[in-house]
A = this chain, B = another copy of it.
Amino acid sequence: MAISKTFALYQQNLNNDPTLPKKQKDILQASLKLFAAKGFHDTSTADIAQAAGVAEGTVYKRFKTKDALLSAVLSPLTSTVLAETVAEFSETTLAKEYTTLHAFISDVVTNRLAFVNDNLATIKILVGEAIYNTSIRNQIVSAMQAVLTNQYAHSVKALQQKNLIVDWPIKLIFQYTISSIGGYLVKQITFPKQVNSPDEEAPQVIHFLEKGLAPE
């Protein structure tokens, strides 16, 4: 499960790269669909080949192993998160100083709900694998920790100093925020197509978090 190599894979396999050979794109899309529907272990490479309209050998011409194919499928997600993780050096995203709690929570929730919405299938696969795969789980954890310490913590500390947010450990505030967003993720996976759009859901979640995290 060589996700550590996803950076290289990313450049080579990104779904919407127009320079990608058509068959390779077909294989990736078929894999995404099948992995999300049946799970990685329950999807055979024969299934993938058939769904992609390609011979099984072609799958292995393009991807060395089935695991590499999984990594390639997950790469749009991991690369996005990686990009954010490195964003500590960017000035646009880095530790904005918010002047109201509402502005901060709005920003975070709106972004994450949209992210969940846009990457639902990939996230589903990632979660399904993370449950049993320590390596994948650790990569998620360290990505989150990077976001937490590089971006989130700064904004929250600033708000705490202005007494605009509750004075709890930052990890806790992070946990409750992520949990609320996770609730939307679960709803999307469980009731696909009959769930609020992120735009409809966001104001409610924001309202709830704003109350729960308001200074006391």
Interface residues of A (CB under 8 A from B): 37-39, 41-42, 124, 127-128, 131-132, 137, 141, 166, 168, 172, 175-176, 178-180, 182-183, 186-187, 189-190, 204, 208-209, 211-214, 216
Contact = CB atoms under 8 A, between A and B. Distances in A.
Number of copies: 2
Nearest to A179: B183
B190 A137 contact: yes
Contact of A212 (B124, B128, B132, B211): B211
Contacts of A124: 131
A38 B134 CA distance: 10
- 5 smallest CB-CB distances across A and B, nearest first, come from A212-B212, A179-B183, A39-B132, A41-B41, A179-B179
Given A41-B39, A208-B212, A183 B190 contact: no
A175 B189 contact: no
Contacts of A41: 39, 41-42
Nearest to A172: B204
A37 B132 contact: yes
Given A131-B189, A208-B212, A211-B214, 14 more contacts: A38-B132, A39-B41, A124-B131, A127-B131, A137-B190, A168-B204, A175-B187, A176-B180, A176-B208, A179-B183, A182-B182, A209-B212, A211-B211, A212-B213
A89 B178 CA distance: 36
A202 to B, nearest CB: 13
Given A180-B176, A183-B178, A132 B128 contact: yes
A33 to B, nearest CB: 13
A127 B38 CA distance: 14
